[in-house]
Amino acid sequence: MLVVVGGHSRNVGKTSVVAGLIAGLPERQWTAVKITQYGHGVCGEHGAECGCADPLHPFAISEEHESSSGTDTSRYLAAGAERAYWVRTAAGQLGEALPELRRIISSAQDVICESNSLLQFVKPDVYVAVLDFGVADFKLSSLRYLDRADAVLVHAATEQPAWRGVAQRLWRNKPRFDVRPPDYVPLALLKFVNERLRG
């Protein structure tokens, strides 16, 4: 089974949602994957100078082994994932990593992935889009796949979204779960995802 968690911008709680789903569905044998794309030395995840780039290869995949290192992938392990991977690739070059990603996915029973861009290549069993009405930025990758979301997780501090140019029909009529951080994964979302995975 494959669950994908995406979000319309940086720092909207995607990692917290992934960790919350892992912890909330402990009967699943989770392998967790975080995908980071970078460009010109700037991280697509954090929007700042970073060490994501591997100048010798078009992509890099590393497995996390420490649950207390403070990284996003360590948070996956701390939440209960059996394995966790960090995939780094240049913006628009995720296809280079696809054969290795497919190997990871096919060798695991349950996979949860933090990414929008993976949707270009796979059809997950569940895709949850994280939306923060207070953040105006809306990534193109999120906009491209928003209509495929099975559910939206909405930071409900404000009633109307700050972003512009995003048709309400892309998200308005989907199952919606309102969250108020630091609680990113309500019980109703766990039930929804679990039912979808059971088919």
What pLDDT digit, counting tens, does each position of 108-127 carry?
999 999 999 999 999 999 99
What pLDDT does residue 143 have? 93
Partners of residue 50 on adjacent β-strands: none
Whole-prediction pTM: 0.89
DSSP per residue, the chain? -EEEEEESSTTSSHHHHHHHHHHH-TTS-EEEEEEEEEETTEETTTSSB-S---TTSSEEEEEE--SSS-SHHHHHHHHT-SEEEEEEEETT-GGGGHHHHHHHHHT-SEEEEE-SGGGGT---SEEEEEEETT-----HHHHHHGGG-SEEEEE-SSSS-S--S--GGGTTTS-EEEEBTTB---HHHHHHHHHHHH-
Assess if CATH 3.10.450 describes domain 2-198: no
Q: Where are the domains of the chain?
A: 2-198
User: Residue 26's pLDDT is what?
Assistant: 97
Say how far apart CA 49 and CA 38 lie, in whole Å: 9
Each residue of 47-60: pLDDT tens digit? Answer: 444 454 455 567 89
Q: Which residues are within 8 A (CB) of 29 and not within 5 positions of it... i.e. 6 or more apart?
A: 82, 108, 109, 110
Q: Which has the higher per-residue pLDDT, 159 or 7?
A: 7
Residue 113 has what pLDDT?
98
**Higher-scoring residue by pLDDT: 158, 54:** 158
